Chain A
Amino acid sequence: MNMSLNEVRADMTAVVWKIVVAEGARVRAGDEVAVLESMKMEIPVEAHRDGTVTKVFVHEGSSIAEGDPIVEIS
């Protein structure tokens, strides 16, 4: 598996509820970048590092599986 260290990935099967950041946004580690919905709960997804959001891989409403990339932070 080609895993980029810059990508924030889903660690569970879920639906993308909200995307909080846009491409080009500056984020700090721990900032919320998206909110997933799984088992009827909102699951915040946090940036794993400081940096700039260079790619958003998903849309609101996308179904994602464990390991799918959500955003790229470079």
Chain B
Amino acid sequence: MKENGRDPDVNRVATVTGMTGALEDDDVRPGWGPEIDELVRRRRVALEMGGSEAVARQHAKGKWDVRQRLDAMFDPDSFHEVGSLAGTRAPGDVDWDGQLTPSNLVVGSGLVDGRRVVASGDDYSVRNGTSEQAAWRKLGHIEHYAVDMRMPVVRFVDMSGASLSAITDQGYTSIPDPGDWEWLGVLSEVPVATVACGPCPGLGAWRVGASHFSVQVDGIGNVFAAGPPIVRAGIGEVVTAQDLGGSAVHAGHSGVIDNRAVDEGDAVEQVRRFLSYLPSSVHGLPQRAETSDDPDRRDEQLLTLIPRDVRRGYRVQTLLDGVFDHGSVFQIGAGWGRSSVVGLARVDGYPVGYIANDPFRYGGGMDEFAAEKVTRHIDLCNAFHLPIVSLVDQPGTVIGSQAERRGTVRKGLRALAAVEQSTVPWFAVVIRRMFGLGGATQWPVRSSSVKVAWPSARWGSMPVEGGVDALMRRQLAAAEDPDSLRRTMELEFKALGSPLRTAEKFGIHDVIDPRDTRSALSRWVADAYGVLTPGPVRHGHRP
């Protein structure tokens, strides 16, 4: 209803102001006591979230409420909320001390392991996670603040999808752009870690997926472009929320999410761990940590790790534990793109990124998911000035019609582009195989990259086994005893394939005793940290 020809919202502000004046006449306390009392009351209301019943419903689903999440994330008593006064009134409520429903996004900053970090967390107990305008403004503000003040961002996402009633209340439909939320720019400035701890439909999936590290909580995190009712209406598929977008789907297959967590405490710990390897922004450098591990430790297991039988695999974790500081290996994306193994670790206390391969998954070959995982990881390391350790056992791009239909070659080329565009120092050790396009993605060609090999290393445009059959078909067909000829040829190629032959031409910088890998890395990493340069990089992070 319009009064005096003015917009009703403007009238509402005028009414509130008028009532404040009336209250001053009745209250005999000096100064601004009544207003301070009202501030205190409103902040208390915000702490009550959606009310005791709604919070109990949240807990009954096995979920923490937003305040528990922030308490777990931040060092004790260090979180300072911004915007706790924001919220919505019931239509027609014009009292100056009227009933306000808190905003369903809590934002603020605090200390995580002593370092300043900003966070946002959805409050699903308010209107079942349906968003409102203040929430959007708060998100825009706090992430701009993080960028300008150079602090990491953490997001806890637990929200509803688009709401028809919100459109009715608003009176118009919005263009679907991110507005004040500078989701892409933030990725090239500060670390962004996200937790999917409830429904994350549409915009929620965007907020979780557009990050450097995401973790999804088993059983309660659901990430999708649209939830089951819309999927059913749109394409007729009947599917549960967990089967559509649970952690087994996204952290166990698609790679939309990096890691899964068994519960919310595990998720918070993984975020804390991830942030510990990174600087607070691209304008700083990763921090060296204390370590009791000897930089020249020789792990005897490395001598026998690689079987002489080229068809037999080995545990990649033994390799990682043998070269990096004790307890420092943090794997990212263990459940998807599994033929590539990537993560963060430390060498003599210095944080590094690593890429390796799992021989038990396509022999370590690069499929489309593995290529995507490597691309993102190189972008991450490059943006935040983490030197890269490449432990190579890469038989090549995964072959076959399924791989071709999935565009594996282009995904591999994108990985190769990320490798070549990186400017951080690289140290590569060829553990075993290095073949073809997949092999080429294991280090950049620039000549300051250190490239050494174990005696078990073999490389080339294709492996000898099978290669003889494919390339010498005519000679084999013409031979009296093709099997004998094949064996002779394979032995000849194997002798030529010794890494020592390549080292004679300085095609590889050195062939080393596997047990000396750690000491070689320790010497290099100190040099690498001497040349790291803070600042934004030319090629920012692609989510």
Contact = CB atoms under 8 A, between A and B. Distances in A.
Contacts of A43: 313, 360-361, 363
B463 A12 contact: no
Contacts of A62: none
B511 to A, nearest CB: 23
7 contacts: A12-B361, A38-B363, A40-B395, A41-B360, A42-B312, A43-B360, A43-B361
A30 interface: no
B457 to A, nearest CB: 16
Contacts of A37: 311
B22 interface: no
B338 to A, nearest CB: 8
Interface in A18-50: 37-44
A13 interface: yes
A42 B402 contact: no
Most chain A CB neighbours (cut-off 10 Å) among B310, B361, B363: B363
A65 interface: yes
B398 A39 contact: yes
Contacts, number: 46
A38 B128 CA distance: 48
Interface string B460-472: 0001011000000
B402 A13 contact: yes
B465 A40 contact: yes
A11 B402 CA distance: 13
Nearest to B311: A42
Interface residues of A, number: 13
Nearest to A63: B400
Contacts of B360: 41, 43-44
Given A12-B362, A41-B311, 4 more contacts: A11-B361, A13-B400, A39-B396, A41-B362
A39 B462 CA distance: 12
A37 B313 CA distance: 11
Nearest to A1: B243
Contacts of B363: 38-41, 43
A39 B466 CA distance: 10
Contacts of A12: 361-362
Given A12-B361, A12-B362, A66-B402, A41 B463 contact: no
Contacts of B425: none
B110 interface: no
A39 B312 contact: no
Contacts of B364: 39, 41
Contacts of B466: 40
A41 B359 contact: yes
A41 B359 CA distance: 7
